[in-house]
């Protein structure tokens, strides 16, 4: 019998956490989440307040 082919993009949820308590937020998710929120807030501020942006000019 051949082994079943593992498709990492399939809807296989067998690896997800087991247990009765909610899992803690992973550290990488906190770090990348903060980066993403800073990016989104910076863009929102640029559009909301009409900040004039010139490439390479900061401050």
Partner 1 sequence: MRLNLLMSPAVRKLALAVHLMASVGWIGAVVGYLVLDVAVATSTEAPVVRSAWIGMGLLTAWAIVPLALASLLTGLVMALGTKWGLIRHWWVLISLLLTVGATGVLLSEARAIGHGAALATDPTTTPSQILALPSTLPHSIGGMGVLLAIQVLNVLKPQGLTPYGWRKLQQERRRRVDGTR
Binding site for partner 1 (CB under 8 A): 8-11, 13, 15-17, 22-23, 25-26, 28-29, 32-33, 35-40, 42-44, 46-47, 53-58
Q: Tokens representing 14?
A: 């067998």
Is the CB of 4 or the CB of 23 nearer to partner 1? 23
Question: How far, in Å, CA of 55 to CA of 59, rounded?
Answer: 12
Least Å distance between CB 4 and partner 1? 14
Per DSSP, the residues of 6-32 read P-TTS---TTS--SSSPPPPPHHHHHH
Is the CB of 4 or the CB of 56 nearer to partner 1? 56
């Amino acid at each position: 019998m051949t082994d079943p082919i593992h498709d990492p993009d399939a809807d296989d949820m067998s690896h997800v956490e087991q247990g009765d308590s909610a899992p803690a937020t992973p550290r990488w998710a906190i770090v990348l989440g903060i980066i993403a929120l800073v990016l989104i807030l910076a863009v929102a501020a640029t559009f909301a307040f009409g900040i004039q942006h010139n490439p390479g000019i900061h401050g």
